[in-house]
Amino acid sequence: MNLQNKVVVITGGASGLGQATARFLVQEKGAKVALLDMNEAAGKETVDELGGANAAFYRVDVTVEQEVDSALDAIIGRFGAIHADINAAGIPLPFKLLDKEGKASGLQKFRSVVNINLIGLFTVMAKCAERMSLNEPDEKGERGVIVNISSGAAFEGQIGQCGYSASKAGVNGLNMPAARELGPLGIRVNSIAPGLFATPMINSLNPKVQEALTAMCEAPKRMGEMEEFAMACTFLIENSYMNGRTIRLDAATTMQAK
């Protein structure tokens, strides 16, 4: 899919990897971006940076269907269509199966992380797919592309990541059945499982903590750059033969148990 003047919905688009991807798509590919996020101040700042003709912000809780529907309808009202959907919203919320007294963890944290990282993601992708199916197909027969953001934790989760790892493994599990269902409609579905990236949150950590994280990276021996993530998202949108798969973007890194 040619991204020039295409409309891309990005959840978690007001910060971190989602924001970096929004910048890249607008500045390097000439796309329009619609940012769905809970951080209103950051969302408005990003729109000011990218320009109101190229970007719009909508305060959305991805776990609330009505908010998702309202935002997507507003996006179509403003830009005319939705061509791609990048689902980057998520929370880590670490916790152990057993607490310090050996008691089983309550279900609240597990429900919370799965509700946002998996169920919320499913809600947005399904509702975007519904609207993409109404697009006129391009010269290759494509109507839309969905890119879901998983994590290396989906494969090698660390201690305390049961909820997070389960939710991200579920994201990867959506690829094939969704790709098979939506393929005849001209909609592709893939996911990216990023490793350690130099996000603003990571860069704010103590330098010694950053060094310990970097030591886990295999080759190259550094954390990923934000633009490298954005380029991977762009590849999955632009390459019409990529479908139903997960890309591990992690410098051959295997996370340690803790």
Distance of CA 2 to the CA centre of its chain: 20
Q: Which token pair is 14? A: 């007001």
Cα of first residue to Cα of last residue in the chain, in angstroms, is: 40
Nearest Cα to 20, choosing from 213, 240, 173, 192? 192
The active-site residue out of 57, 58, 79, 164 is 164
Q: How many CA atoms lie within 13 A of 175 on its CB side?
A: 20
Is 58 designated active site? Answer: no
Which residue intervals of 107-161 are DSSP H helices? 108-114, 121-132
Q: Which token pair is 155? A: 């494969």
Q: Which amino acid is it at 177?
A: P
Q: Tokens 């994201």 belong to which residue?
A: 171
Give me the active site residues, please.
164
